[in-house]
């Protein structure tokens, strides 16, 4: 059986296909309106997006370290790493919220034009995924604190880590597509 169980990998597959389809629509629409999409891209804050990229990747590293420590049966260190990953996830959500607030206060909202409609759809869907990942990690941390994962029983934590890394993976496609290209 694959790490985290087969169900999490089915979810990963469906989510990757869904996001790639959304990115495909974005690229198609950008091809039909290159000037409008270039204007939209230029209104985004690449520095905030790069900062968020670093936050997510750091959170992924923390999650991996947390699972490693749990496998070593060091629950205390595992919890600290998971807390760091949760903090990274929350920081990502706050920065994204700041970015959304700045764009909407400038009148760039969902439905305004194809660029911002797709921007909000793709990043909003990703935002929801990160929020779910944070909730999953919080739940797993509570279970670790209660002594739930001992010995070789780490599949749930591995599945949570895989979901977190899915968020990283998707963002590594969204970031250049929306902010750089």
Q: Is the pLDDT of residue 149 over 90?
A: no
Q: Is the pLDDT of residue 164 over 90?
A: yes
Q: Are 141 and 86 in contact (CB under 8 A)?
A: yes
Mean pLDDT in residue range 129-146: 97
Q: Are 94 and 51 in contact (CB under 8 A)?
A: no
- pLDDT for 3: 78
Q: Is the pLDDT of residue 154 over 90?
A: no
How many angstroms separate the CA atoms of 74 and 133, rounded? 22
Could you tell me the CA-to-CA distances from 45 to 40, 100, 112, 180 in Å, in that order? 11, 11, 18, 10
3-state SS record for 109-163: CCCCCHHHHHHHHHHHHHHHHHHHHHHHHHHHHHHHHCCCCCCCCCHHHHHHHHH
Mean pLDDT in residue range 42-70: 97
Provide the percentage of residues in the chain whose pLDDT is more than 90. Answer: 89
Using the Cα atoms of residue 60, residue 85, residue 149 and residue 78 in order, give the sign of their dihedral.
Answer: positive
Confidence category of residue 16, pLDDT binned at 50, 70, 90: very high
Q: Kindly report the CA angle at 83 between 82 and 87, in degrees rounded to 5?
A: 115
Confidence category of residue 99, pLDDT binned at 50, 70, 90: very high
Predicted TM-score of the model (pTM) = 0.93
CATH superfamily of 6-180: Cytochrome c oxidase, subunit III, four-helix bundle (1.20.120.80)
Provide the percentage of residues in the chain whose pLDDT is more than 70. Answer: 99
Higher pLDDT, 173 or 112: 173
Mean pLDDT in residue range 35-46: 96
Token look-up 């990690």 returns 137
Q: Is 43 helix (H, G, I), strand (E, B) or coil?
A: coil
Which residues have C-beta within 8 Å of that of residue 51, sequence separation ≥ 6? 95
- pLDDT for 40: 96
- pLDDT for 5: 80
31-60 exposure pattern, b = at least 16 Cβ within 10 A, e = fewer: eeeeeebeebbeebeeeebeebbebbebbb
Where do the structural domains in the chain lie, given as residue ranges? 6-180
């Amino acid at each position: 059986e694959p790490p985290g169980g087969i169900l999490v990998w089915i979810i990963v597959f469906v989510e990757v296909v869904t996001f790639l389809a959304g990115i495909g629509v974005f690229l198609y629409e950008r091809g039909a309106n290159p000037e409008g999409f270039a204007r939209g891209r230029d209104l985004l804050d690449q520095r905030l997006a790069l900062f968020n990229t670093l936050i997510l990747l750091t959170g992924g590293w923390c999650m991996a370290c947390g699972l490693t420590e749990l496998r070593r049966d060091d629950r205390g260190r595992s919890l600290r790493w998971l807390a760091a990953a949760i903090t990274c996830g929350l920081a990502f959500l706050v920065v994204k919220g700041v970015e959304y607030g700045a764009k909407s206060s400038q009148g760039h909202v969902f439905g305004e034009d194809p660029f911002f409609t797709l921007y909000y759809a793709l990043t909003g869907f990703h935002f929801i995924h990160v929020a779910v990942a944070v909730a999953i990690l919080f739940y797993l941390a509570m279970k670790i604190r209660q002594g739930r994962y001992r010995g070789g029983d780490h599949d749930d934590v591995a599945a949570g880590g895989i979901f977190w890394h899915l968020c990283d993976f998707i963002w590594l496609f969204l970031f250049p597509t929306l902010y750089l290209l």
